[in-house]
Amino acid sequence: MEGLIRRVRRATKDRPARAWVADNPLTATATDLTVGAGDIGNFKEAGKELCFDDGTDELVITTGAADSTTNKITMVRGQDGTAGTEHILATAVLIKPRFTNAEIIDAISTVIDNLLWPKIWVPAETTLAYQSTNDYFSPTLPGIDEIGLAYQLVSGGFYKIAAEVVRAPFADDANFPNGAIIISSTVDSSTIYLSVHLRPAVDNLDIEAENLTVAGASALLVEAEEMAHVGGATTAVDKTVADGSKLRAGVVLMQRFENMLDRRRVALASAEQQRRHELLGV
């Protein structure tokens, strides 16, 4: 998650000022943050929103100006529904970022959970050892949602076999933590090979799915930011801009994301068909 958050910040041109944690460590309940003497100038008043560049979602708000003698800043921890979290020495402190870590994490989760699947999947290969006692196999690979192709290699030939998957939430058995694969008939007792579709998750994204996640999360964040300024004029600047013209970049970014998603789906389907042709000649 840490790398994804950083990539989304770069994509949205979110470049907040930085300081560094000088506590070893900053505990989850500490209300004083120590920074380097050279960073004190960034904390001249209260009300600064701070995040930490370590993948956590904690939002901190300063309650006073920094003490130039002790280099300490007073703060309240775990704001806006986040929790106080320990941060190690030299962690970067992001000062008044355009988007908080929690906002970025929410956007990333929305894209992965609701926008990528079922349009695209993460392709993967795995194997199962033959067993003669039952038809239920427990895969070692988590996140299998569909089986693209199941086959055995017998005497130099490729033999397709029928296989079904019961996803982990429905396997309902401690013996099947990654779901269950049902194979009722095999050619022989040799290894079973599976080309599978993984449901996208933070811990299994390939580079293409990661790129899509960054693009989609960036679009959601910019859209939400722009929508906050659409409506009745409240400032002299707002009064010079028509309501309908205030929502622009987010819509463009979302369209780009959707186009990327469509292209990736076509590429995945094409690659799977090519592999099927190479193995089975169909």
pLDDT at 217 over 90: yes
The residue length of the chain stands at: 282
In the prediction, which pLDDT does 74 show? 95
Query: For the segment 32-77, what is each residue's pLDDT rounded down to a tens digit?
Result: 999 999 999 899 889 999 999 999 999 999 999 999 899 999 999 9
Which has the higher per-residue pLDDT, 243 or 21?
21
pLDDT confidence bin for 190, thresholds 50/70/90 = very high
**Residue for token digits 């076509």?**
266
pLDDT at 125 over 60: yes
pLDDT confidence bin for 23, thresholds 50/70/90 = very high
How many angstroms separate the CA atoms of 52 and 267, rounded? 37
Q: What value does the mean pLDDT take over residues 194-208?
A: 94
Query: For the segment 67-84, what is each residue's pLDDT rounded down to a tens digit?
Result: 989 999 999 999 999 999
In the prediction, which pLDDT does 128 show? 93
How many angstroms separate the CA atoms of 58 and 85, rounded? 7
pLDDT confidence bin for 275, thresholds 50/70/90 = confident
In the prediction, which pLDDT does 232 show? 54
Q: What value does the mean pLDDT take over residues 216-245?
A: 71
User: Over pLDDT 70: what percentage of the chain?
Assistant: 92
Assign residue 271 a region: left if phi > 0, alpha if psi is -120 to 50, beta otherwise? Answer: alpha
In the prediction, which pLDDT does 273 show? 86
Which has the higher per-residue pLDDT, 155 or 111?
111
In the prediction, which pLDDT does 236 show? 60
Decide: 75 and 31 in contact? Cβ < 8 Å: yes
pLDDT at 278 over 70: yes
- The mean-pLDDT minimum among 132-146, 202-216, 225-239 falls in 225-239
**DSSP codes joined into one string, 195-258:** EEEEPP-TTT--HHHHHHHHHHHHHHHHHHHHHTT-SS--STTGGGS-GGGS--HHHHHHHHHH
In sequence order, the β-bridge partners of residue 144 are: 198
Which has the higher per-residue pLDDT, 10 or 273?
10
Query: For the segment 153-181, what is each residue's pLDDT rounded down to a tens digit?
Result: 888 788 899 999 999 888 877 889 999 99
pTM: 0.84
Output the average pLDDT for the chain: 89
Per-residue tokens: 93: 């402190």
**Residue for token digits 């609701």?**
114
pLDDT at 19 over 80: yes
How many angstroms separate the CA atoms of 56 and 264, rounded? 30
Please give the sequence-ordered ranges of beta strands (E in DSSP) within 21-143, or none if there are none: 32-34, 49-52, 60-62, 72-76, 92-95, 122-128, 136-137
pLDDT confidence bin for 6, thresholds 50/70/90 = very high
How many angstroms separate the CA atoms of 121 and 260, rounded? 14
